Amino acid sequence: MSRIESFKEQLSTGYTFKGDSIVLGAAKLDGEVVPGTQVKIPLKTMNRHGLIAGATGTGKTKSLQVLAESLSDASVPVLLMDIKGDLSGIAMPGEAKPFIIERTDAAGIDYTPNGFPVEMLTLSDEKGTRLRATTSEFGPILLSKILGLNDTQEGIVSVIFKYCDDNALPLLDLKDFIKVIQFLSEEGKAEFETSYGKMSSTSLGTIMRKVIELQQQGADEFFGETSFDVDDLMRIDNQGRGMISILRVMDLMDRPKLFSTFMLSLLAELYASLPEAGDEDRPKLVIFIDEAHLVFQEASKALLNQIETIIKLIRSKGVGIYFCTQNPQDVPSGVLSQLGLKVQHALRAFTANDRKTIKEAAGNYPETDFYKTEDVLTSMGIGEALVTCLNEKGIPTPLAVTYMCPPRSRMDVLTDSEIDDLVAKSKIAKKYNEVVDRESAYELLNKKLEVADQTEPEVKASTKKEKSTLETILSSSVTRQIGRTAANIITRSLLGALGVSSTTRKKKTSWF
């Protein structure tokens, strides 16, 4: 059997699945497409998470787009984190250009331009449906993790949340939380310590500074009402296609803590609200995080542990998470080990450190007799990727250099007017874009302080006693003068007995 025939047999065996699958492209060997080969992913294992990596300009975003389109066609809702703003084109049909037809022909599939159902979401003032969560929903543990607090400070935050629950003080946004800290540091300190114990002023000050730091990254835009319902991420359109929700976060590249805050909140909410799914024939939701290094950038060890834990557990809820980044090393090793699908586009070796990184990346892939992985990683062209995934039994598929299929939607961004049209047609934008600022801890505590300020003078006046006759006599100016005269006489008498004249001038002490 020739080398090519052996390769085809291995690919045919490794990429044949019983259930539905997603075609990624055709396999290549020795720089040539091998006819009759298809590299596929079983739909059933799309909740096993994955990685799409590669240098800038190698085709990562287009691979992400292909996966999102195929999932939508399979009635699987998708959430895309659009950091660079180049994923909105998935809402409009693409064009049947010659180089596109060449790729689909190689994979043995037809190319039909198509747009997909899209919902534009935003965490800031970008156009789209606003995503928010209340401070109470975020909870003391997640809030402490995102603030990077130590165990003592985390305990204080938990007690503050308990105090607010016990006293009917809703924590809706960060100004509520800050107001509670201020109140417990001053007017409410004694009352709090009676029932909940003492708190260090230093710890409260540290928590306050951390919250203000989070505010400076724009967190006020995220914390508040109306809270986003994760069920709205899992909608199906009238044609049975999964809704593709695009979260436009182009203005968050310089605010990684806010991005991490949102991601952790979303994953925690999904895990808490979704029932156990087990091994179903398709996932309930798939999340793609472009420029994934932003999730882990500036994240504390505690926060990384929290993210890693949720990623490990959320698979059982039918949710798949896919990280898209330039280098596999951008993803912590604990998270990287959980990723079943790997779509590795080309890496570039310009320095000794680059070559070291490539060698480390090559170690993440199964061994193969047909490729020298380290060399392949630097020699692939645009739109080519080294692929391996898990089959239906959880076994890694053979490593294959893949001539990737092109997206069927537009490989470019939407215009402003096209985005406006999408937002105007949204069925959920009106529900979440209305500003709600109902009475919460901030307003309630301000009222409590105002009432206290008004009643304090009245209390002082009512407790002021009328002076008795003796008190009146003792406080009079005549009595005070008599007292001073008597004191002077006694003093002079004592000094005379000691042989000291009260009129004698004290001598000055000299240092020389």
For the chain, the structural domain boundaries read 3-124+233-426, 139-217
State both tokens at 186: 């001053």
Dihedrals φ, ψ of 214, to 5°?
A: -65, -40
Residue 45's pLDDT is 93
Least confident of 304-308, 333-337, 393-397, 422-426: 304-308
Residue 151 burial (CB count, 10 A): 9
The per-residue pLDDT for 503 is 44
Residue type, 76: V
Q: Which amino acid is present at 27? A: A
Between these two residues, 481 and 117, which has the higher pLDDT value?
A: 117
More confident residue, 238 or 310: 238
Between CA 145 and CA 493 the distance in angstroms is 74
What is the amino acid identity at position 368? T
* pLDDT attached to residue 495: 42
Which residue has better confidence, 464 or 107?
A: 107
Beta strands of 354-460 (E only): which ranges? 384-388, 400-404
- CA 318 – CA 46 distance, rounded (Å): 9
Kindly report, residue by residue over 214-256, the tens digit of the pLDDT.
888 888 888 889 888 999 999 999 999 999 999 988 776 667 7
φ/ψ (deg, to 5) at 56: -60, 135
Residue 363's CB is within 10 A of a number of other CB atoms, namely: 10
The angle at the Cα of 404, spanning 399 to 407, to the nearest 5 degrees, equals 145
CA dist list (Å): 371 to 338, 357, 391, 401, 403: 24, 18, 21, 9, 15
Fold entry, domain 3-124+233-426: Rossmann fold (3.40.50)
pTM: 0.81
Q: Is 273 helix (H, G, I), strand (E, B) or coil?
A: helix
The pLDDT score that the predictor gives to residue 361 is 82
Note the pLDDT tens digit of each residue in 45-90: 999 999 999 988 899 999 999 999 999 999 999 999 888 888 999 9
Confidence of residue 331 (pLDDT cuts 50, 70, 90): confident
Take residue 294 and report the two structure tokens written for it. Answer: 């932003």
The DSSP bridge pattern shows strands 118-122 and 129-130 to be parallel
What's the whole-number mean pLDDT along residues 258-275?
A: 83
Please state, rounded to an integer, the average pLDDT across all residues of the chain: 85
Percent of the chain's residues with pLDDT above 70: 87
pLDDT band (50, 70, 90) for residue 475: low
Q: Per-residue pLDDT tens for 338-374?
A: 899 999 999 988 887 888 888 888 887 888 889 999 9
Cα–Cα dist 457/450, whole Å: 12
**Residue 314 CB burial class (10 angstroms; 0-12, 13-18, ≥19):** buried
pLDDT > 90 in the chain, percent: 50
